[in-house]
Chains A and B, each alone.
Chain A
Amino acid sequence: MWKTAEYTGWGRFYRAKGELARPERASALDRIAGEAPCPAIGQRRSYSDGCLNTRGRAIATDRLDRMLGFDEETGVLDVEAGCRLSEILRFFAPRGWLPTVLPGTGFATVGGAIGMDVHGKNHHHVGSFGQHVTGLTLHHPDGRREVLPGDPLFAATIGGMGQTGPIGSARLQMQPVKGPVMMVTERRVPDLDSYLELFDTTEATYTVGWIDATATGGNLGRGIFEEGETGAGLVPPAKRGKRIPMDAPNFALSGPVVRGFNAAYYRRIPDRGRTVVKPLEDFFFPLDKIFDWNRLYGKRGFHQFQCVVPLAARDVLREMLTKVSASGLASPLAVLKRMGPGRAGMMSFPTEGYTLAVDFPARDQAAEMIRRLIAMATEAGGRVYLAKDAFATAAQMDAMYPERADWAALCNGLDPDHAYETDLIRRLDLRAER
């Protein structure tokens, strides 16, 4: 039933070796949950150590991936926790329904999306993933437990990084979709102020911005702003996925290469902007077509820093971008977005403000840079995302997540032996009652 394996998160920086179980049926999950309680992990698409349990055990949910029922009247889908969001999109978009919230990768599982209370490009309108969960089933040592919104255990589970026990299945409120394609308007944005202005005034359902984290001076914060609306129309043929055949050499993402790539990427969009029709997958999950793009960062792996800062902290955002671009450490992957206030859990990341995500190849200088950025976010009253954090401190967590102590007390009451702890929880001492 247990297999010793070495595994990593998506960033491949932290690594774990431990025993994994992989139940194929809900009854097998019951048995494991009773005999050997331990954290559940999905597709390990979170970047850091939230999906790792070094020297301990974990339950891989990838074979619990079935869609169990759908109510055409209410649009509620009952689905197993290991089901990937891309599968739901693939089979439900043609029927006129979409998961209300979709994160940037369709490889994420339902369980992971709940445990991290993920957000999408429509967060400013509909809030976080957990706000559209109408119920979930936890598998505890003493049996299954149905948890509904309003229960304190619900708020501890959404965004709770698996600390309330394995999720077996969940009920998701889907939303009707106008058609199987996305109309996307893309335009160049010359600098940070124009960018934030666009985010503050847009009325589009879906918005996201790629940002050139290598641009300096007057170009600081330039990028490409995307607005999307679902629609009906001809679906362009889906392109086949590609694989990265090997770990890339270290120079692949060196400063000059990235600067050159970013400049070309920026100019790809005509000066006056353009509107294109894309398959939904291409808009929601732009990188999923390159199955293992994390290998582009080479053997040492990479980090993704993501923070959200309050709307009033525009200057902090500018300062962060100045530091990042001056360092020459950033990769082409950097994203800016305005978030609404929507969140569903005590440890949920989303809060109203601007969120910035930047990838860095894992190097010592990048770690120092990220530590500085975390400190700046903390000081500005913002927070970093547990699905991505690699370097925050326990004290910073307390400042960023005001409900942490209450959440820890609830988890500890439920799991006094700390059986559900992962490397992330121990690194940040998140379940300490202080």
Chain B
Amino acid sequence: MTDATTETWLILGATSSMARALARKLAERGAGLLLAGRDMDDLQATAADCSFHNASWAEAIRFDARDPESFGPIVDRMQAETGTLNVAVFVGSMPPQEEIDAQPEMIDGVVSDSFTGPARLVHALAPLLEARGSGTIVGVGSVAGDRGRVGNYVYGAAKAGFHTYMSGLRNRLTRSGAHAVTVKPGFVDTAMTWGLDGMFLVAPPDAVADAILTAERKRKNVIYTPFFWRYIMMIIRAVPEPIFKKLSI
């Protein structure tokens, strides 16, 4: 049943600009695309655009990280495809920390969006990849997950959980021949960072998409994108806690 010449990609959170950039590049190499998210109008626009960019097929499907009911049809749809199955996870939410401080119940939503929702769906998909002995799961985390900072530590904590999940998933998938890549973007020029103060060395979504495809091809484990964030985060992680707790970076 496996046809090694075809590849299918499920893109979770396909309304984000990073996901759109990746979808276009996958379309140009002829992949089949299942674009998942909440804004169906927008997903349908991206699906149409991807088919003009030479995707072998592109469809929109509803996915809400906070609604597990939406997961089943996605798993079924993926199972129906022959060839290599791949997943790219772009979901997450980063409400301002002050809003979370005022309404702590928002933490559940952030954790569902950025960690448990996608992890639960990926967990249902992992056996499909294992059975076919191929495919890659790309998990887009964040440098914010590398250390908790006063400005966004709830988001950071959710992403840290996701990073740890991805690491364990990689450990599991490698036994079957499938693979998992953890992607930690620094500042990317998206709607999330548009107009935020303190942004520097902001990367275009296209560059992140290129880095993801390279990582997938070379079966990298954890990438920072742009690459220099690995060194920035190395320094940030090395700051001793007694000093770090007094910083506001």
A and B bind: yes
On A, residues with C-beta under 8 Å from B are 1-4, 21-28, 63, 66-70, 80, 91-92
CB-contact partner of B52 in A1, A21, A23, A70, under 8 A: A70
B53 within 8 A of A: yes
Other A-B pairs, 14, CB within 8 Å; known A25-B39, A66-B49, A68-B49: A1-B194, A2-B195, A22-B194, A23-B191, A25-B15, A25-B42, A26-B42, A26-B45, A27-B39, A63-B191, A66-B48, A68-B48, A69-B48, A91-B54
| Interface pair A67/B194, CB less than 8 Å apart | no
The docked-state distance in angstroms from the alpha carbon of A69 to that of B58 is: 13
Which chain B residues (190-216) contact chain A, with CB distance < 8 Å? 190-191, 194-195
Given known A25-B42, A68-B48, A69-B48, contact A91–B191 (CB-CB < 8 A):
no
Minimum Cβ distance to chain A for residue B188 (Å): 12
| Interface pair A26/B41, CB less than 8 Å apart | yes
Contacts of B49 in A (CB 8 A): 66-68
Given known A3-B195, A22-B191, A24-B191, contact A67–B48 (CB-CB < 8 A):
yes
The docked-state distance in angstroms from the alpha carbon of A189 to that of B18 is: 50
Q: List 11 A-B contacts (CB under 8 A).
A: A1-B194, A2-B195, A24-B20, A24-B191, A26-B42, A27-B41, A27-B42, A63-B17, A66-B46, A67-B49, A80-B45
Contacts of A28 in B (CB 8 A): 191
Size bracket, chain B contacts? 10 to 19
On B, residues with C-beta under 8 Å from A are 15, 17, 20, 39, 41-42, 45-46, 48-49, 52-54, 190-191, 194-195
Contacts of A21 in B (CB 8 A): 194
Contacts of A68 in B (CB 8 A): 45, 48-49
The residue of chain A having its C-beta at the shortest distance from the C-beta of B44 within the complex is A68
Contacts of B46 in A (CB 8 A): 66
Contacts of A24 in B (CB 8 A): 15, 17, 20, 190-191
The residue of chain A having its C-beta at the shortest distance from the C-beta of B16 within the complex is A24
Minimum Cβ distance to chain A for residue B21 (Å): 10
Contacts of A22 in B (CB 8 A): 191, 194
The docked-state distance in angstroms from the alpha carbon of A19 to that of B54 is: 36
Contacts of B48 in A (CB 8 A): 66-69
The residue of chain A having its C-beta at the shortest distance from the C-beta of B199 within the complex is A3
| Interface pair A1/B39, CB less than 8 Å apart | no
The residue of chain B having its C-beta at the shortest distance from the C-beta of A169 within the complex is B45
The docked-state distance in angstroms from the alpha carbon of A104 to that of B11 is: 37
Minimum Cβ distance to chain B for residue A240 (Å): 16
Minimum Cβ distance to chain A for residue B211 (Å): 20
Given known A25-B15, A91-B53, contact A66–B194 (CB-CB < 8 A):
no
A-B pairs, 7 with minimum CB distance: A3-B195, A66-B49, A67-B52, A25-B42, A68-B48, A24-B191, A66-B45
The docked-state distance in angstroms from the alpha carbon of A27 to that of B42 is: 8
The docked-state distance in angstroms from the alpha carbon of A6 to that of B99 is: 30
The residue of chain B having its C-beta at the shortest distance from the C-beta of A22 within the complex is B194
The docked-state distance in angstroms from the alpha carbon of A99 to that of B54 is: 19
Minimum Cβ distance to chain B for residue A192 (Å): 44
| Interface pair B52/A91, CB less than 8 Å apart | yes
Minimum Cβ distance to chain B for residue A123 (Å): 27
Minimum Cβ distance to chain A for residue B75 (Å): 26
The residue of chain B having its C-beta at the shortest distance from the C-beta of A67 within the complex is B52
Contacts of B194 in A (CB 8 A): 1, 3, 21-22
The docked-state distance in angstroms from the alpha carbon of A123 to that of B41 is: 36
The residue of chain A having its C-beta at the shortest distance from the C-beta of B52 within the complex is A67
The residue of chain A having its C-beta at the shortest distance from the C-beta of B49 within the complex is A66
| Interface pair A1/B195, CB less than 8 Å apart | yes
Of A26, A66, A68, the most chain B CB neighbours within 10 A belong to A66
